Amino acid sequence: MRVQSINVLAIVCDGTSQASIYGQATIDGSGSFFYRIKVKDVAEPGAGQDTYWIILETGYNSGEHTLGGGNVQIHRG
């Protein structure tokens, strides 16, 4: 399954370490489906510690996964 974002409708931060990203995406190149990506900023550096979770309106739920690379950073405004 290939999921590609069409847009980002909202980003909501929950406290200082978690955020949810909401938008619409295509699946395998067609349609328009709502998604939610939950990210958690656990530590610095983030690789191997920070997490993500993808939920699609189709019912797909990836469960929580640890980042294999990169870093989630949530900054307070």
Q: The whole model's pTM is what?
A: 0.85
Within a domain: residue 12? Answer: yes
Within a domain: residue 42? Answer: yes
Provide the number of structural domains found in the chain: 1
Task: Provide the residue range defining the domain that includes 29.
Answer: 3-66
Instruction: Please state, for a pLDDT cut of 70, what percent of the chain lies above it.
Output: 95
Within a domain: residue 59? Answer: yes
Task: Please write the tens of the pLDDT for every residue from 1-25.
Answer: 999 999 999 999 987 789 999 999 9
Within a domain: residue 60? Answer: yes
Q: Mean pLDDT for the chain?
A: 91
CA dihedral of 17, 23, 28, 30, whole degrees rounded to 10: 180
